[in-house]
Every structure is written in C-alpha cells, then in structure tokens.
Structure 1
Amino acid sequence: MSNKAIKIGIIGGSGLDNPDILQNKREVSVTTPFGAPSDVLIEGEISSVPCVLLARHGRRHSLMPGVVNYRANIWALKEAGCTHIIASTATGSLREEIHPGDLVLLDNFIDRTQGRKQTFYDGGENSPIGVCHLPMEPAYCEKTRQVLLQAGKSIGLNIHEKGTVVAIEGPRFSSKAESNMYRSFGGSVINMTSVPEVVLAKEAGICYASVALATDYDCWRDSGEKVSVAHVLQTFKNNVSKMTQLILAVVPLIAAETWDETIDELQNTVKSSVMLPH
C-alpha cells in the first residue's frame, strides 16, 4: 500500500452519478478560486476506501457540456485530497466493433472543443504563478488504466482496452460529414466532456482515468438508428449497471496498489512544465 493516503474521486457523467454506491455518505458544499463546482461533493466510502462523488452535469443534469466549470470540479476534488479520479462518460461509437453498451478504456483524445478554459495557470487573480506547458502523452494515467482493466476482467466485463475519444463542443450532435471526418482522424468514440477534464486533472497532479460507455453509433453508418436523446437514454438504462460494477470493483484494487512513485512522477512532470516569470 502507498505511504500517501489514497482517496478516489468519481466523476459521474449523464446517468452515471448514483450516490448509492457510497457508504457513510455526506454532502459537502465547497467553493474554489475558480468558482463553484457542478454540485456538492458527496463524500463516503467504497470497501472502506475514502471516495468523493461529483455529478459532472449537476444532479439534475442542468449543465450542458460547454458551461460545466471543469476547473472548479477538478480543483474541488484536489482540495478534497483526491489522489485519483475515475471518470465515466457517455459516448457515441465511431467504430463498428464498438457496439452500443460496450465499455471503452480511453487512452487518448482529440480536442474539438471551442473556448474552454484548459489550464489553472491563466494569469488570473487566483491562478498559480507561471505558464504551464503540460505534455499530454500519456493523456491518461497508464497505471490507473491497467488497474481498471484488471478490475473489469475480475468481474467478467468485456472492455475495449484502448480508445481515442473525440471531444466536441456540443450540445448538438455531429453532422454525418463531421462524424466521418472524426473516423478518419482515428477516433474511437465521441463525446462532449473529456476535454478539458483530462487536461486539468493531469495539471492538478491527479491520477486520472476515464471509462466510456458507448450509447449509439453516432450518425456515420448508412444503416441502423441514428443518435438521438431517446436512444442514448435507453442504452444507459440497459447498461449503467456495468459502470457501477466496475467502479465498485476497481476502488479496493487501487487502494491495494503502491502509488507513491506514480504520484511523485506525475507531480514532478507538472512542476517541471511550469515556466515562471523572470
């Protein structure tokens, strides 16, 4: 086990933010130098491991992707002491072999968002000093990804081991031409929230991994049902239990690992990426 105290943040996407996964839960209202997070933090435990649940879009799903305060969300989890974040996200599939209902363990991203704040080091009154030129390879914490994969296999889930997510601005879905363009880019799945969340988590020195639930085939296929809210919600309802099972399985596995070196290396990467004024 780590010398560092392990605490796991869980960011729930659409329909994937059920607080009942936590024991001894309590709500904590917080604010940050970057404003308020999407909702209260729900502190509790899974298998006696301290965890914090945050609904990315708010518990009433009132925040569209482009107005989520990603900086406040990540800062709030950092201040709560989270060493890890496991994020869940609903995605459209850009690949025939990724079927609706499948889980994909993301390992890379393509950013097609517009105008979102992607750094804490923005020169603002409350920002850290300097400019952070953060390397994004690897984009996600590889060790955390591997523990997630191990957890999935231990409970019999079939998970795609890698996937590149294309993050679009939304809230509209893609045109067919756009969908095919993202396929040509090498995208595996598509969503509206992975960026800047993954960037900010790394900049905060937190071990971050994200599991995508494919809900549809977007609109690139010539046959079959096109993406729609009704279709997405029905696929959620049928498959959300997979994500819950995975989170419940992975938390004790993360706590059983030694993370000191991984966390130190990540935090040193961030520190060495900051250019201070001179």
Structure 2
Amino acid sequence: MRIAIVTGSGTYRLPGLGAAPTVEVGTRFGSVPATFGPVAGEHELVHLARHRDGHELVSHQVTHRANVEALRVLEVDAVLAVTVCGACEPDAELGGLVVFDDLHFLANRLADGSPCTLHDEPGAPGRGHWVFDGPFSPELRRALLRGAADAGLAVRDGGVYGHVDGPRFNTRAEIRSLRAAGVTAVSQTAGPETVLCGEAGIPYALLGFQTDYANGVRDEPTPVETLVSLIAASSERFAAVLEAAIPHVVADPPAPVGTQLTWD
C-alpha cells in the first residue's frame, strides 16, 4: 500500500523523512516535489507539502491539480491530509483537532477562476461527474480518529470544513454567512484537494487543527501571536496523529469515495 500525507502551513517535513531526497513528479499540470519513505513494513509513505519548503507558495498559488495528478501518477492508495484552520464556533478550543465529515465549497473554483476539476479536455476518457454522499473516506476518517485516540489526543468526530479564498483572511460578514451554513472551521486550501482527489478516485480524509477564531466569532479577535504560536505547535500534534493512524489505514484499506458517472 502507498499512503500519501499532504501537509499545509507550518509542516514542511515529516519526522523520519527529513533526510529523504526530494523527487520531482511530472504531471500534465506541472511537476510536484515529493519525498518517499518506508512505513509499516512493506508499505510506502509519500509526503507532499502543499506550500513547499519555506512556504514558497501562498494559498492561491498552491498547485492543486498538479498535486492530485501526481498522487494519481504515483498510484497512491490513500491520502491523509492536514490543515490549520480558523474556528467558526465560539466554544471551540484553540489547539483542538477536528476530523471533518462534510465540505462547504460552493464556488468549486480554483484560484485562477477556472473550474475545480481534472476533466479539462472534451472527450477525454473518464470525463464525467463525481457522485457521493459524504466527500471524505469513512475508513480514513476512522483511522484518523483512532490515531488521535492512540496518541492520547482529544479530537472532534465530524464537522463541516469551509473552503475560503486567500490569501487574505475573511471579514465578519463572510464568516457570518459561513456559520449560518453550518461551517465548523475554515482554511484556504483543502476544498480543491478534496474535490480533485474524489474525481481521481483516491480515498481522502482531512484533519484540522484550530489555531484562531475566525473574524467575528468572538468579541475579541485572536491575537496574531496566538495564531503564529499554534501554527508552530500544529506540526508535532499532526505528526503524532498521523504516525498512529497509519497502521489503522493498513489494517482497514479504504475504497474510493462515491461513484464516477462517466461518459466513455
């Protein structure tokens, strides 16, 4: 089994892969740097950092289609993704973990305004629609929840991930509308990733770490110093959950989410 870990702000290398060489994976959407290493015996781990080393790419520059196409080229069997995020609920605990079970991404657009899809060529094999109930893999969600428990960390089971455009943060009015739609927490990268992995038939699950309260959620805004401190702390917390979750992924391999309604 080949398991991919996709990380975001604050996590650019994984423990155990720090000395691993970076390999450029070529795709029709451009090349993507990735690192590889063994995990759980005969299985392999692939790490992809959305923002690349040194946070080279800010949120609107992340190469989502190339990233997911690289995972497909590499024949990845599962993706465990993480994101730091802003809490939309006033009673949320900063530093708390969430394994999301639903997605709010109404625009379904990439940062350049183009549709968020791998189906960009008329008549191409596999073109069609991704049909699903929930967008995240049940098996991988269970693996993350069990991994958090094994690591001794509290985690929320379920929540709506809200994708927002960056790189700026959101206004109070924007957050009010998202809260009315039931969004639990927001960040700027995982919406396209979820959709594209679904289209590619790659099982995907998302773990969030709440670093701040989104604008207007509380009377007083979260100090920037708190946000920065918690982003720094997220890497260790994510690593603990992911390390503990991987054996559960191996023990309960995931199936692709939903159905591909194609026109071949």
TM-score past 0.5 threshold: yes
Q: CA deviation at 1:80?
A: 1.5
Structure 1 partner of 2:116: 118
Give the deviation of 1:45 after TM superposition: 2.2
Q: Does residue 1:29 correspond to 2:17, yes or no?
A: no
Aligned to 2:259: 269
**How many residue pairs are counted as aligned between the two chains?**
259
1:7 aligned partner: 2
Shift of 1:74: 0.8
Task: List 4+ stretches of structure 1 deviating above 4 A.
Answer: none
Matches for 1:64-83 after TM superposition, within 5 Å: 64-83=58-77
Task: Output the CA distance in 2 between the equivalents of 1:147 and 1:130.
Answer: 29
Cross-structure match for 2:231: 236
Q: Is the 8 A contact 1:91 1:213 kept in 2?
A: yes
Deviations 1:189-222 (A, max 9, x none): 0111111100111111111001011100011234
Following the alignment from structure 2 to structure 1, what is the Cα–Cα distance between the partners of residues 23 and 105? 32
Q: 1:103 aligns with which of 97, 116, 128?
A: 97
TM-score normalised to structure 2 length: 0.90
User: Which amino acid in structure 1 is aligned with residue 259 of structure 2?
Assistant: T
Q: Percent identity?
A: 27
Matched, 1:250 2:238: no
CA distance in 1, matches of 2:126, 2:37: 35
Give me the CA root mean square deviation. 2.1
Structure 1: any 5+ residue segments left out of the alignment? 1-5
Q: Which amino acid aligns with 2:138?
A: E
Structure 1 residue identity aligned to 2:84: A
Match of 1:57 among 26, 41, 51: 51
> Counterpart in 1 of 2:168?
172
Which residue is equivalent to 1:217? 213
Letter in 2 for 1:95: E
Aligned partner of 2:85 in structure 1 is: 91
Q: Report the equivalent of 2:144.
A: 148
